[in-house]
Amino acid sequence: MKKYLSEFVGTFVLVLVACGVAVVTNANVVATSLAFGLVIIAMAYSIGNVSGCHINPAVSFAMLLTGKMKAKEFCCYVVAQLLGALAGSAILAVLLGSCEALGANSYGMNENLATNVWIALLVETILTFIFVTAILGVTSRKEHSNISGLVIGLTLTLVHLIGISFTGTSVNPARSLAPALLQGGEVLREAWVFILAPLLGASLASIFYKAVLKQENK
């Protein structure tokens, strides 16, 4: 239960603070990117020793595929993450006094970019692949344990810097689904993209890890 409570709290903080920054800064690229990265760093060094600080169903899915967690534990992690994300979105709605804008993802974030559903799927898949590959790689060596949280947080910042203009950057189904459920409308209709693509990116990262990185780390 400590693991699941940690995942709940971590995802709650991620959605409340990082999505909150996205809303109040009107999705300013630098501010939002730093917010997501800094939350991950803070949570990694606070709850990481308890649950591993996944706070992302795509990360947990990669851990399942690479044999680092069992199916039952994976399901419990995802439930905790979704509940935490919903709680974070709900509190954010209370603070803002509205559910109109809670930081949900949507493709075509930049009117100067012709982003459609296929581009959104491609962007989210690639960015999740990069993010999850960094996680699998840095956490596979014990000697990297002291810096793993920093590496993971900076990698999340990196993928946000390029992805915000296309999709707002998800790479996290819980972070996308929760605010979309409260906002409703078009962002909820597009939410499937931000569930499917991160899971696909995590799958590709798991394959790459098992085929390449795991062999090098033996």
pLDDT in tens, 102-135: 999 999 776 767 679 999 999 999 999 999 999 9
In contact, 173 and 98? CB cutoff 8 Å: no
Domain that holds residue 28: 2-216
> What confidence tier does 215 reach under pLDDT thresholds 50, 70, 90?
low
- Structurally, how many domains does the chain consist of? 1
> What confidence tier does 217 reach under pLDDT thresholds 50, 70, 90?
very low
| 3 state DSSP class of 20 | helix
Could you give the CA distance from residue 159 to residue 27 in angstroms, rounded to a whole number?
Answer: 14
Mean of pLDDT values over 86-91: 98
pTM for the whole thing? 0.94
Task: Supply the mean pLDDT for the chain.
Answer: 94
Q: How many CA atoms are closer than 13 Å to the CA of 143, on its beta-carbon side?
A: 1
**Statement: residue 141 has pLDDT above 90:** no
- Measure Cα distances from 163 to 41, 133, 166, 213, 218 in Å: 19, 17, 5, 25, 33
**Statement: residue 218 has pLDDT above 60:** no
For the domain that residue 148 is a member of, what is the CATH number?
Answer: 1.20.1080.10
Q: Which amino acid is at 27?
A: A
**Statement: residue 63 has pLDDT above 60:** yes
**Statement: residue 197 has pLDDT above 90:** yes
Burial profile 10-49: b = 16 or more Cβ within 10 angstroms, e = fewer: bbbbbbbbbbbbbbbeebebeebbbbbbbbbbbbbeebbe
Q: Which structure tokens are listed for 206?
A: 């798991």
Mean of pLDDT values over 133-146: 89
**Which residue, among 155, 9, 177, 181, has the nearest Cα to 80 in the 3D structure?**
9
For residue 115, the model assigns a pLDDT of 79
Mean of pLDDT values over 64-82: 97
pLDDT in tens, 156-195: 999 999 999 999 999 999 999 999 999 999 999 999 999 9
